C-alpha cells in the first residue's frame, strides 16, 4: 500500500522544480517571463485553430520538428512531436499527483503551448484561484490527460497526418512510463508507479506495452530518421529496413 500525505498546491508549483524540466509548469503572466507572442491554448491546437503568429500551431510544430530532425516523411515528425507533447502532459500531471496528491486544472483551455519552443515542450498554465485543484487519483488523471488532451490530439493528427492509432497510444503509454522513471529517484516514485499501473489498465492504453517488460507493441518511427535507431522500449530489437513509405507503427 502506498500512503500519501495530500498537500495543498502552492501557487508556483515549486515542488515540481527539483523533478526536472519535463515536470515544471509556469504561469501565464509570471513577471519573470520575457515578452513573447501570445501563445495558443491547447484547445486551439486540438481544434486546428489558426493563430495570427503561428498559423496552424500543430502544423507549425511538426514542420519545426521535421526540419530539425531532417525527417523524410511528415508522419514521422508528427509521431515525434506527439511523443514530446504526451511526455510533457503526463509529467506535469503525474508530478503534481505524486508530490501533492492533487493536480491543478490542466484542461486544454487553460494550458498554453509555445509551438516554437525547444524540447521539452514549453507549457504555461493560466492563472488559477487559491485552492483550485482536482483529486490526484488515476481516474482524474485519465480524464484530464487521456480524454482531455491525448484523445483530441490524436484525432487532429490522424486527420492531417494519418499515423496509426496503435502508434499514438503506444507513444502515450511509453511517455507515461518515461515520466514514472524520471520520478523514480524521488520520494514520489512509489506513488507514481501505483498511479501508472492503474492508468496502463485503461482501455485506451491497455495492450500498448508488454506487461512484463514494458516494451512497446508499436513503433514511434524514430528509427526512420537519418541516424536514428531503436528506442529503449521499442518493439524492435534492431531497426528494420524501411520501405519507401514505411510499414511500421
Q: What is the mean pLDDT of residues 238-244?
A: 66
Q: Are 105 and 134 contacting, i.e. CB atoms less than 8 angstroms apart?
A: yes
Q: In the prediction, which pLDDT does 246 show?
A: 42
Q: Cell numbers 541516424 correspond to what residue?
A: 227
- In sequence order, what E strands does 65-161 have? 102-103, 111-114, 122-125, 134-135
6 and 101 in contact (C-beta within 8 Å)? yes
39 to 32, 45, 111, 137: CA distances (angstroms): 16, 10, 10, 29
CB atoms near residue 130 (< 10 Å): 8
Is residue 54 a part of any domain in this protein?
yes
Q: What's the rounded Cα separation, in Å, for the pair 68 and 167?
A: 21
Instruction: List, in sequence order, every residue forming a beta bridge with 51; answer none if it has no partner.
Output: 55
241 domain-assigned: no
pLDDT confidence of residue 5: 45
pTM of the model: 0.89
Residue 112 CA to residue 26 CA, distance in Å, equals 10
Asked whether the bond before 167 is cis by omega within 30 degrees of 0, the reply is no
Residue 184 lies in a domain: yes
Q: Quick one: pLDDT at residue 7?
A: 55
| Rounded-to-integer distance, Cα 9 and Cα 148, Å | 21
Chain mean pLDDT for the chain: 88
The 10s digit of each residue's pLDDT in 100-148 is 999 999 999 999 999 999 999 999 999 877 667 899 999 999 999 999 9
Number of domains within the chain: 1
C-alpha cell at 221: 518511427
Share above pLDDT 90 across residues of the chain, in percent, rounded to a whole number? 69
Q: How far apart are CA 247 and CA 155, in angstroms?
A: 21
Residue 8 counted as domain residue? no
pLDDT score at 28: 79
Does residue 249 lie within any of the structural domains? no
> Containing domain of residue 68, as a range?
14-224
- Kindly give the pairing relationship between strand 122-125 and strand 26-27: parallel
Count of CB atoms situated within 10 Å of the CB of 36: 12
208-236, pLDDT tens digit by residue? 999 999 999 999 998 999 988 889 888 88
Is residue 128 in a domain? yes
DSSP 240: P
Instruction: Dig out the grid coordinates for 58 from the structure.
Output: 500543430
- List for the chain the helix, strand, coil content (%; round to 5): 45, 10, 50
**Within-domain flag for 240:** no
Determine, yes or no, domain membership for 6.
no
Q: Are 72 and 221 in contact (CB under 8 A)?
A: no
Q: Are 42 and 108 in contact (CB under 8 A)?
A: yes
Confidence of residue 249 (pLDDT cuts 50, 70, 90): low
Would you state the cell numbers that stand for residue 144, as one nine-digit string? 484530464
Amino acid at each position: 500500500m502506498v500512503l500519501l500525505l495530500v498537500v495543498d498546491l502552492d501557487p508556483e508549483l515549486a515542488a515540481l522544480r527539483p523533478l526536472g524540466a519535463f515536470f515544471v509548469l509556469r504561469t501565464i503572466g509570471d513577471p519573470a517571463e520575457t515578452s513573447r507572442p501570445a501563445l495558443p491554448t491547447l484547445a486551439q491546437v486540438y481544434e486546428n485553430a489558426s493563430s495570427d503568429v503561428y498559423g496552424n500551431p500543430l502544423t507549425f510544430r511538426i514542420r519545426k520538428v521535421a526540419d530539425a530532425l531532417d525527417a523524410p516523411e511528415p508522419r514521422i515528425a508528427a509521431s515525434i512531436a506527439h511523443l514530446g507533447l504526451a511526455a510533457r502532459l503526463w509529467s506535469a500531471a503525474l508530478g503534481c499527483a505524486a508530490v501533492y496528491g492533487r493536480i491543478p486544472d490542466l484542461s486544454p483551455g487553460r494550458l498554453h503551448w509555445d509551438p516554437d519552443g525547444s524540447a521539452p515542450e514549453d507549457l504555461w498554465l493560466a492563472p488559477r484561484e487559491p485552492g483550485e485543484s482536482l483529486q490526484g487519483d488515476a481516474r482524474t488523471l485519465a480524464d484530464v490527460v487521456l480524454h482531455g488532451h491525448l484523445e483530441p490530439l490524436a484525432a487532429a493528427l490522424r486527420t492531417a497526418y494519418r499515423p496509426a492509432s496503435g502508434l499514438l497510444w503506444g507513444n502515450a503509454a511509453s511517455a507515461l512510463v518515461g515520466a514514472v522513471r524520471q520520478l523514480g529517484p524521488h520520494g514520489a516514485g512509489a506513488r507514481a508507479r501505483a498511479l501508472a499501473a492503474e492508468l496502463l489498465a485503461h482501455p485506451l492504453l491497455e495492450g500498448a506495452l508488454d506487461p512484463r517488460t514494458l516494451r512497446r507493441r508499436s513503433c514511434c518511427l524514430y528509427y526512420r530518421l537519418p541516424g536514428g535507431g531503436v528506442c529503449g522500449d521499442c518493439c524492435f530489437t534492431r531497426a528494420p529496413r524501411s520501405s519507401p513509405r514505411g510499414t511500421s507503427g
